[in-house]
Each structure stands twice: as structure tokens, then as C-alpha cells.
Amino acid sequence: MSQNPDAPSSSTNLRAIAETFRLIGWISFWIQLVLGVVSGVILLLYAASSQRTGSGGNNAGAGFGIFLALVGLAALGVGVYLAFRYTRLGRQLVSSNPSNRPRKSETVQVVRFGVIVNLVGILLTLLGAQAIVGTLATRALTQAQFLFTAQANQPFISGLDMFVVLANIQALTANFAGLSGSLWLLNRLNRP
């Protein structure tokens, strides 16, 4: 009757990996979800406001930036799903039925896909932020600076414009949180 001396440590290691997946998955899920929802609401308010006031016409660069920000938010949505999937993988890893456990290669593939999705989200959000901030900087530089005119009392860059920049920063932070979580899990999986 020979017992494998590595079996208890292997089981303990598998439990530790499963707990890490569940913890990092939930943390990443909630950070991405909350920041993504706030960013999405701000972008929707901006789109509704610019449609109502008709101010979208003088903002061609910002329109492209908003489009890229929305595509970055779509990538963030996939990242939120993958973070939730990490929690399910953590639960499957400690399943009492070994046939229900995912193979290491399948788990690594899911985490690598999470890394790629969040990197694409970061890239798209950064490009959107560059377009929006570039448009706002151009508008600020081309504004005539007269102190005693009716135009001097009107804000050239509105607070809503700054909220769009904030929305991009929040989407970027959310994608970064997803990337950090995925990299942490990938590191944990490849640890001996």
C-alpha cells in the first residue's frame, strides 16, 4: 500500500489556487463593473446632451474619441464577464468530481484571453482619451481670449467635457484592474 506523498500538498496547492481565483475574480469583477457602469452612464449623458443641444457638430475629434471609448467599454464588458468566469473556475477547481475540474491548459487559456481583452480595452480607451483630450486642447487653444466681451463669460470647455475625460480615465482604470487580476492569476498558475 503505497501512498503518494505529494497528494496532500497537491490538494492544498489546488485549494490555494482555487481560492486565489475566486478572490481575485470577485475583486476584479466588482472594480470593473462599478467603474464601467459609471463610465458608461457619463458617456450616455454626454451623448444625450450633445444631441439635445446640437453641440456635437463642432466636436469631430471628440466624436471619434467617444466611439473609441465606447468600444473600450465593450471590451471592458467582456473583461467583467471573464472576471466572473474566474470565480466559477475557482469553484470548479475544488469540485469533488475530478472530471468536472478544468485542465490547467484550459484555465491558462481563459486567463490569457483575459489579458488580451483587457490590453485591447486599454489601447482603445487610451486612443479615445487622446482624441478627446486633443480636441479639447485644440478648442482651448483656438478660443479668443477677450476679457470684456459676451464670449468671455461663456465656458468654452464645459464641465460635461471634463466628465467625458473622467469617464475615459475610469474605463482605463477598470481595464487596468482586469489586466492586473488576469496577470496575477497567470502568475499564480505558472508558479511551481
Of 133 and 117, the structure prediction assigns the larger pLDDT to 117
Supply the range of the domain harboring residue 17.
7-190
pLDDT at 2 over 50: no
Residue 73 is assigned to a structural domain of this protein: yes
Give 90: exposed, middle or buried? Use CB within 10 Å, 0-12, 13-18, 19+. buried
Residue 106 is assigned to a structural domain of this protein: yes
Of 150 and 124, the structure prediction assigns the larger pLDDT to 124
Report pTM: 0.81
- In this prediction, residue 154 carries a pLDDT of 52
Residue 107 is assigned to a structural domain of this protein: yes
Query: Could you report the per-residue pLDDT of 58-74, keeping only the tens digit for each?
Result: 555 567 888 898 999 99
Residue 148 is assigned to a structural domain of this protein: yes
Residue 1 is assigned to a structural domain of this protein: no
Residue 2 is assigned to a structural domain of this protein: no
Domain count, the chain: 1
